[in-house]
Chains A and B, each alone.
Chain A
Amino acid sequence: MQYFLNGLPLGAIYAIVALSYSLIYASSGVLNWSQGDMVMLGAYLGFTVVQLLHLGFTPALFISMAVVAAVGVAVQYFILRPLRERQSPPINVVIATLGVAIMARNIALAIWGPDAQNFPSPVSPAPIQIGVLSITRQDILIVVIGILLMLVLHLLLHRSREGKALRAVAQDRYAAVLMGIDTGRSDAVAFATSAALGAAAGILVAPIFFVTFNMGAGLGLKGFVAAVIGGLGNIPGAIAGGFFLGVLESVTGGQISSGYRDAITYALLILVLWLRPSGLFIRKNRQKV
């Protein structure tokens, strides 16, 4: 049971990154491999704001979300828009986002150096004992804020005008254009939201995982895996996929063998995909002839 509890905070982070993957994939069909590095940028920016400007946790959260959102929009505008105009094959788009990831990682290395940076936790690190189980306030904070972000995203998608445009584009890009929706704008909104989400994840995870220039790599890959489990492009699926992966890793890591943890996770995933080829949480989408 403790392993389950322990998997939740990590699961929340995977869920947020998976959310960003699915949001971008749904709205613009792009597999954004630099998503993990947006998390890293968010963490570093939050660290800089707290360390240099001595501001509190919440201003750091908002400033870094804003800045990373801007980076997301810039990436979309300067790299992904030309790719769309040239109708380049999807594999080119994947390589382009990988290029962005490589650049982001090494620019961060050049700016903030190779050492891990500590990030003051907004809540006291003392664990809370519930019977035999223990969980820290920071973990609870992560899960709570994580779910909060997901709710905000849900509201944004379903209530606001931008959100509706985004979902329309996700359903059928061509029809959306006919209805006069500016897909350029909706792509920018999608990238900005997912980048901001990434930044929030970064700041949430920084106090307990520290900030290193290559933390994006691991998170980027695990986020992709979680998004695929949940069924790529499916927002609630991404959340479920994230928590599923977090708990799965915690249980296999602890109970079975830490060395083969990832191997077991991948083997299980391949089996899941064999049984349900479009992810755990989606009906098989039928192919129209």
Chain B
Amino acid sequence: MNRKVISLFFVMALVILSALSLTGYGSAQTQKTIKIGVVGPESGGSAQLGQGQHKAIQMAVDEINAVKGTGEWKLEVFFEDDEGNPTKSASATNKLLQQSEVNIIIGAIHSSATLADMVITQRAGIPQITSGSTGSSITEQNNKWIFRTAVNDEFQANALIKHAKETLKVQKVATFTAADDYGQSGAKLLAAAAQKEGLQLSANPTYNNGDKDFKPQILAIKDSGAQAIFMWGLYTEAALIAKQARQLGVDVQLYGASGMAALKLIELGGDAAQGLVLTQSFLPVSTDPKVMEFVNKYKAKYQDSPIPHAAQAYDTVYIIADAVKRANSVKPEELREAIAKTTGLKLVTGQPKFNPKGDDIGKNLLITVIKGDKFELVKTVTGS
């Protein structure tokens, strides 16, 4: 009955395999090192954000270690995939804290995953920085261990609405947002800003991430007579919406936010994306030397143009490096203090400065428009 033997052998192998790798590989504390744990969706629906963050962080760590940017501290980084699922994210964070004994966590991208991780890092008393989650509830948990380098949604919503009111003189607008934490918080902020500016919100349909057909909603917006459509989601869906709107002969002004700001949006959207106005904290084509240097290095290393999440993750590593140099220790409390007092750093996405709740208000905000195959700067709104 060799088949039974194979199966029994297989089960044993399974058990040994699981036990073996659970023991983990905590490296001994030889030379002064700071261990950074990174949690993000490297598979599943938003894999391009997770992998973009992974590449940028790896690049930043290699650069800093090469040039001994943090004095005698060496950076060590561990990556865990959370598939964009909050339960798996909490397990990944736990593994990083217990097995790899990391001193700080970067992650996650989905606000729901970040919230789940914050419960773990707060209980363990370890600082956590998210460079991807923009959900407002994250910095309202009066949790002193959380910092956020993602650009603030509220500024973007207000800037976009103001731009529509002042330059386009529109009265009726519509929001078309993703049905996830990012999209829903954007929809709320846009609606509030529109009301404040006295614009009428004629329609506010939503879509599920991964949806492919948006024509029904676009038609509903067209029937509502909106003169501008504010999108809030990722570039794949945004490009599809732009194309399908053009196909339905709906050519009202399209607005977007930093979540979709990537050259891929232009590549996929084609000429339907021309003239799309969006806010972002990082402009791949900006004349700022720091940005150009980052983009060229990223392209050289990965043959791909960086997405905003990559730029923000890259800066996050530099913030940590600066903080550990100033604190000259990895004790959680001291590291947290050092991060909170970050000032005077000139990075790719602005001059980071954290308010007591943990939000980075040092971000500068660029209003850009798509012209040809790149973003053009329309206006810079400095962080208030």
Contacts and interface: CB of A to CB of B under 8 A. Distances in A.
Contacts, number: 97
Interface residues of B, number: 36
B214 to A, nearest CB: 9
Interface stretch (A56-64, A114-122, A155-163, A186-194): A114-122
B208 A262 contact: yes
Contact of A218 (B212, B235, B246, B270): B212
Contacts of A213: 47
Interface stretch (A18-26, A203-211, A226-234, A277-285): A203-211
A99 interface: no
Contact of B216 (A3, A106, A125, A262): A3
B384 to A, nearest CB: 33
Given A109-B43, A217-B210, A210 B268 contact: yes
Contacts of A251: 216
A129 B216 contact: no
A255 B240 contact: no
A136 interface: yes
Contacts of B219: 2-3, 6, 254
A171 interface: no
A23 to B, nearest CB: 23
Contact of A258 (B205, B240, B264): B205
B240 A127 contact: no
A73 B252 CA distance: 49
A10 B213 contact: yes
Nearest to A205: B212
Given A106-B43, A125-B247, A258 B216 contact: yes
Given A116-B264, A251-B216, A215 B210 contact: yes
A250 B212 contact: no
A116 B220 contact: no
B343 interface: no
A246 B235 CA distance: 24
A236 interface: no
Nearest to B176: A258
B179 interface: yes
Contacts of B212: 10, 205, 208-209, 215, 218
A214 interface: yes
B45 interface: yes
B249 A129 contact: yes
A82 B235 CA distance: 43
Contacts of B329: none
Interface in B285-327: 304
Interface of A: 2-3, 6, 10, 106, 109, 113-116, 118, 125, 127, 129, 134, 136, 205, 208-210, 212-215, 217-218, 249-255, 257-259, 261-262
Given A258-B206, A259-B179, 19 more contacts: A3-B216, A3-B219, A10-B212, A114-B48, A114-B50, A125-B243, A125-B270, A127-B248, A212-B236, A213-B47, A214-B44, A214-B45, A215-B210, A249-B216, A251-B216, A253-B217, A254-B220, A255-B216, A259-B205
- Nearest 9 pairs of A and B residues by beta carbon: A254-B216, A114-B47, A253-B216, A209-B212, A114-B48, A258-B205, A116-B236, A6-B215, A127-B247
27 contacts: A3-B216, A109-B43, A109-B47, A113-B51, A114-B48, A114-B51, A116-B48, A116-B268, A118-B268, A125-B243, A125-B247, A125-B270, A210-B239, A213-B47, A214-B44, A214-B45, A214-B47, A250-B213, A250-B215, A250-B216, A251-B216, A254-B215, A254-B216, A255-B216, A257-B205, A258-B220, A259-B179
Interface of B: 43-45, 47-48, 50-51, 179, 205-208, 210-213, 215-217, 219-220, 235-236, 239-240, 243-244, 246-249, 264, 267-268, 270, 304
